[in-house]
Amino acid sequence: MANDDKKLIKILKKFPDQNPNPVIRISDKGVLEYFNSPSIEIVEFYGLKLDSKVNDIFLNHIQKTISNSEHGFEIRVKTLSFYFKSIYIKELRFINLYGTDITAKRVIDKFPDSNPNPVLRITSDGKLNYYNKASEYIINVLKVDLNITLPDSILNHIKSESNSFELKIGSKDYLLNLVKIGEFNFYLLYGTDITDTKDKEKILQKLSKYFSPQVYNSIFSGQLDVTINTSRKNLTVFFSDIKSFTTITEKLEPEILTELVTSYLTEMTNIAIEYGGTVDKYIGDAIMIFFGDPNSNGTKNDAIACVSMALRMKKALRGLRKNWKSAGLSESLHVRMGIHTDVCTVGNFGSLDRLDYTVLGNGVNLASRLESLAGSNEILISENTYNLVKSKVKCNYFDEIKAKGKSHSIKTFQVVDVLSRKGADAKIKASAEGFDLSIDKNKIKNMEEIIDYLEDSIEKLNSQ
């Protein structure tokens, strides 16, 4: 034998010592010639000995390796699993067995079988290579099977490596959690059926439309109990309705009337919610709102928020009027508003089977009375409210009225606007050739009429 061949044999016999994985050498006659230290547990478990013939298990794999030059097989050693790649070195008349511990992979492969929830294993290129029994519904609906590429509805999330996402599959909703197993180059997709939860959410969303957001949140946060329960609180109560609404309803088709009233109530409600008001109820075109329960920023701030809301509503009416005009309505949209602050009884009223979260008391009646006395686009407030808001809101004295349940007359005030921080803002002047405008807001009793007049004038100019 040449010196070069001897060196090669020496190298081949030596290199497995440095391999951290099991390496076993068996002659083509089936005799164990060598094993490195990581192989000791395997050798001992199967009772193999150096220079002795190996058992039938290994002989079988040796024969297959000799026939095919290469062969792969798995063996179990106690709780461990090993995969061996055996290579026949024909020139040296022996077979090298190179082992890899695949215990962790086998555990991953096996454990989803007992998982009551869907588990899918997906290759890095998006193909399904395993699913457990709980996943059968998903597999059937998606019409996929092993070694088939999954649809984009799942692949897009895998590409972006989303940690979790919701997906509707057939009639069911699933929360899917994606885990990348980088060591084995695949993904595990864990599913949870959330169909019942989604159905309940849809029901709650429908129910929420029957409650003010504050009341709804208080009920479902546990702050408010669904029982007959009331308390006495300082509240600011607001009423509004559309002037001559009965006449308007007689001139419109039901579909158009519904559309116009819906747009009006939606706009007003959004403003109420923005300012923190609790929408109590709609009575036809009328709206009842109160401030101070279930959440309160203090009696004064609640009153200021309520009056500020009313002014914002007046401003929003200008845009709504144009919609009503375009619908062919000859009567313009005018609203009356009344506000009063007083101690009221608030809470759940009703029977054992049906409850209404509302406010009762003379304070409510007085706010309603003020609304009925108000003129077109006018906000009337009681003296109680005036005393709370006068530092922030400009008001004019209106009149004294007799109120049911009150032994003395009630002073009332007309809300003009939020107090300006700069006195110069009270006067507006503008001029051009053929045009001259001068407005003193302090002397104007009804700013809304002036604004309507200016808007009509602008429309006439644009039409010429």
Instruction: Report d(CA 84, CA 82) in Å as an integer.
Output: 6
Report the percent of the chain where pLDDT is more than 70: 77
d(CA 416, CA 440): 13
Judged against a pLDDT cut of 70, whether residue 92 lies above it is answered with yes
The answer to whether the beta carbons of residues 167 and 186 sit under 8 Å apart is no
Most confident of 182-191, 203-212, 248-257: 182-191
HSE-CB of 360 using CA atoms within 13 angstroms: 10
Tell me the pLDDT tens digit for each residue of 31-56.
999 999 999 999 999 999 999 999 99
Which pLDDT score, from 0 to 100, does residue 459 have?
A: 58
Q: Is the pTM of this model over 0.95?
A: no
User: Of residues 457 and 220, which shows the higher confidence score?
Assistant: 457
Minimal CA–CA distance to 202: which of 252, 168, 250?
168
Report cis status (omega within 30 of 0) of the bond before 294: yes
pLDDT-wise least confident of 17-21, 31-35, 61-65, 403-407: 403-407
Higher pLDDT, 103 or 63: 63
Q: What is the pLDDT of residue 228?
A: 64
| 8 A C-beta contact, residue 230 and residue 347 | yes
The amino acid at 256: I
pLDDT at 423: 47
**pLDDT per residue as tens digits for the range 269-305:** 889 989 999 888 888 889 999 999 888 999 999 999 9
Say if CB 409 and CB 401 are below 8 A apart. Answer: yes
Interval 148-176: pLDDT, tens: 999 998 998 888 877 889 999 999 999 99
Pure H helices in 327-361: none
- Choice among 123-132, 177-186, 290-299 with the minimum mean pLDDT: 177-186
Read off the pLDDT of each residue in 425-444 and give the average, rounded to a whole number: 64
Q: Can you tell me whether residue 308 is helix, strand or coil?
A: helix
Lowest-pLDDT choice from 51-65, 114-128, 177-191, 441-455? 441-455
Mean pLDDT, rounded, of the chain: 82
Does residue 114 sit in helix, strand or coil? helix
pLDDT for 50: 92
Which residue from 334, 412, 397 is spatially nearest to 366, judged by alpha carbons? 412
User: What kind and span of H or E run contains 408?
Assistant: none
Residues in CB range of 122: below 8 A, 6 or more apart: 128, 129, 150, 154, 158, 186, 187, 188, 189
Measured CA to CA, the distance from residue 234 to residue 194 in angstroms comes to: 43
CB distance 302 to 236 below 8 Å: yes
Give pLDDT, residue 348.
79
Q: How far is CA 427 from the centre of its chain?
A: 48
DSSP tag of 57: H
Q: Which pLDDT score, from 0 to 100, does residue 16 have?
A: 61
Question: What three-state secondary structure class fits 301?
Answer: helix
Question: What pLDDT score was predicted for residue 261?
Answer: 85
Q: What is the pLDDT of residue 47?
A: 93
Q: Is 302 exposed, middle or buried (0-12, 13-18, 19+ CB in 10 A)?
A: buried
Query: How far does CA 346 lie from the centroid of its chain?
Result: 31
Higher-pLDDT residue of 212 and 53 is: 53
The lowest-confidence range among 204-218, 220-234, 253-267, 311-325 is 204-218
Between 313 and 15, residue with greater pLDDT:
313
- If one counts every other C-beta atom within 10 angstroms of the C-beta of residue 5, the result is 11
